[in-house]
Chains A and B, each alone.
Chain A
Amino acid sequence: MSEILKTEDLRLYYRTSLGTVKAVDGVSFSLRQGETLAIIGESGCGKSSLARALIRFLPRNVAEFSGSIFLDGVDVMKLSDADYDKRIRWKKISYVTQAAINSLNPVIKVVDHLIEPLVLHLNMSKKEAVEHAKDVIKKVGIAEEFLWRYPFELSGGMRQRVVIALSIISNPKIVILDEPTSALDVMTQANIINLLKELKQKLNLSYIFITHDIAISSELSDRIAVMYAGQIVEIGPAERMYTDPLHPYSKGLLNSVPRLREDKPVVFIPGTPPSLINPPKGCRFRPRCPFAKPICEKDPPVVRTSPENFVRCWLYGEK
Chain B
Amino acid sequence: MEARLKVVYIVLEATFKYNYDTLPSQIVRWLFINSSKPVYVTIEWIKPEGTIVNISRLVLNQGEFYADLTKGSQDFVLEYTRYIATKLGITPEEELSNLAVLMGKEDPDIFSKDVKPSKGVYKIVVRAESSDPNADVDIKVNIYGTLYGLAGTDEYRRDLFIAVAWGAPIALSFGLLASVLTTLIQMFIAATSAWFGGVVDNIIQRLNEIFMILPFLPIVAMIALFYRLTIWSLLAVVVALGIWGSGMKTFRAMFLQIKEMPYIEAAKAYGAGDLRIIIRYMIPRVMPMIIPIIVISIPSYVFLEAALALLGLSDPTTITWGKTLEEAYAGAAMYRGYYHWILAPAAMLFLISIAFASIGYTLDRVFNPRLKEM
Q: Which of A1-59 contact B (CB under 8 A)?
A: 14-17, 21, 59
Nearest chain B residue, comparing its CB with the CB of A21: B374
Residues of A close to B372: CB separation below 8 A = 17, 61
| Interface hits, B323-374 → A, CB 8 Å | 372-374
Which of chain A's residues 57-114 have a Cβ closer than 8 Å to chain B?
59-61
Q: A49 CB to closest chain B CB, in angstroms?
A: 9
Nearest CB on B from A57, distance (A): 13
Inter-chain contacts of B373 with A (CB < 8 A):
14-17, 59-61
Nearest neighbor of A49 in chain B, beta-carbon distance: B374
Instruction: Report the separation of the CA atoms of residues A21 and B374 in the bound assembly, to the nearest whole angstrom.
Output: 9
Q: Chain A interface residue count: which class?
A: under 10
Which chain A positions have C-beta within 8 A of B374? Answer: 14, 16, 21, 59, 61
| A61, B370: Cα distance in complex, Å | 14
Question: Can you name the residue of chain B whose Cβ is closest to the Cβ of A17?
Answer: B373
- Measured between beta carbons, the chain B residues less than 8 angstroms from A60 are 373
User: Roughly how many angstroms separate A20 CA and B374 CA in the complex, as a whole number?
Assistant: 11
Closest B residue to A60 using CB positions? B373
Min C-beta distance of B169 to chain A, whole Å: 41
CA distance A15 to B372 in the complex (A): 10
Shortest B175–chain A CB gap in Å is 35
Instruction: Provide the bound-state CA to CA distance between A14 and B374, in Å.
Output: 8
Nearest-CB distance from B247 to chain A (Å)?
30
A60 to B372, CA, bound (A): 9
Report the minimum CB–CB distance from B177 to chain A (whole Å): 37
Bound-state CA distance A59–B372 (Å) is 11
Residues of B within 8 Å of A17, CB to CB, are 372-373
A85 to B197, CA, bound (A): 50
Query: Closest B-chain residue to A14, C-beta based?
Result: B374
Cα distance A30–B372 when bound, in Å?
Answer: 34
- Docked CA distance A16–B369 (Å): 13
Inter-chain CA distance A60–B374, complex, in Å, is 9
Closest residue of B by beta carbon distance from A23: B374
Whole-angstrom distance between the Cβ of B274 and the nearest chain A Cβ = 33
Note all chain B residues with C-beta closer than 8 A to A61: 372-374
**Distance (Å) between the CB of B55 and the closest chain A CB?**
79
The proximity string for A residues 293-311 relative to B, scoring 1 for CB distances below 8 Å and 0 otherwise, is 0000000000000000000
Chain B residues with CB under 8 Å of A16's CB are: 373-374
Query: Which B residues lie within 8 Å of A15 (CB)?
Result: 373
**Which B257-278 residues have a C-beta within 8 angstroms of A?**
none
- CA A15 – CA B373 in complex, angstroms? 7
User: With A and B bound together, what is the CA distance between A15 and B374 in angstroms?
Assistant: 8
CA distance A60 to B370 in the complex (A): 14
As a 0/1 sequence over residues 105 to 132 of chain B, the CB contacts with chain A under 8 angstroms (1 = contact) are 0000000000000000000000000000
User: Could you tell me the distance between the alpha carbons of A59 and B374 in the complex, rounded to whole angstroms?
Assistant: 8
Q: How far is the CA of A86 from the CA of B374 in the complex (A)?
A: 27
Measured in the bound complex, the distance between the Cα atoms of B372 and A17 in whole Å is 9
Task: For residue A107, give the distance in angstroms from its CB to the closest CB of chain B.
Answer: 22
Considering the complex, give the chain B residue whose CB is closest to the CB of A61: B373
Chain B residues whose C-beta falls within 8 Å of the C-beta of A21 in the assembled complex = 374
Q: Tell me, rounded to whole Å, the shortest Cβ–Cβ distance linking A110 to chain B.
A: 30
Rounded to whole Å, the gap between the CB of B346 and the closest CB of chain A is 42
A61–B371 Cα distance when bound, in Å, is 11
A73 to B: closest C-beta gap in Å: 33
A14 vs B372: C-alpha distance when bound (angstroms):
12
Q: Give, as a whole number of angstroms, the nearest-CB distance from B371 to chain A.
A: 10
| B369 nearest CB neighbor, chain A only | A17
- Shortest CB-to-CB span from A238 to chain B, Å, is 32
A51 to chain B, nearest CB (A): 15
**Nearest Cβ on chain B to A309's Cβ, whole angstroms:** 32
CB distance from B368 to the nearest CB of A (A): 15
Chain B's nearest CB lies how many Å from the CB of A15? 6
What is the minimal beta-carbon distance from A96 to any residue of chain B, in angstroms? Answer: 22
CB distance from A276 to the nearest CB of B (A): 11
Which residues of B from 70 to 103 have beta carbons under 8 Å from A? none
Cα–Cα, bound, A243→B295 (Å): 64
Question: Nearest-CB distance from B369 to chain A (Å)?
Answer: 9
Question: How far, in whole Å, are A16 and B372 apart by their CA atoms in the complex?
Answer: 9
Tell me the B37-93 residues at the A interface (CB within 8 Å): none
Q: Shortest beta-carbon distance, B90 to chain A, in Å?
A: 81
- Mark out the residues of chain A between 108 and 133 whose CB falls within 8 Å of any chain B CB in the assembled complex: none
In whole Å, how far is B366's beta carbon from the nearest beta carbon of chain A? Answer: 14
Collect the chain B residues with CB atoms within 8 Å of residue A14's CB.
373-374
CA distance A17 to B374 in the complex (A): 9
Q: How far is the CB of B365 from chain A (nearest CB, A)?
A: 14
Assembly CA distance A247 to B216 (angstroms)? 74
Q: CA separation between A86 and B373, bound complex, in Å?
A: 27
Give the chain B neighbours of A59 by CB distance below 8 A.
373-374
Which residues in window 227-257 of B have CB below 8 A to A?
A: none
* Bound CA–CA A14/B373 (angstroms): 9
In angstroms, Cα B374 to Cα A285, docked, is 25
14 residue pairs bridging A and B, Cβ less than 8 Å apart: A14-B373, A14-B374, A15-B373, A16-B373, A16-B374, A17-B372, A17-B373, A21-B374, A59-B373, A59-B374, A60-B373, A61-B372, A61-B373, A61-B374
Known: A14-B373, A59-B373, A59-B374. 5 other contacts (CB 8 A): A14-B374, A16-B373, A21-B374, A61-B372, A61-B374
Q: Which residues of B contact A (CB under 8 A)?
A: 372-374
Closest CB pairs A-B (n = 6): A61-B373, A16-B373, A14-B374, A16-B374, A59-B374, A61-B374
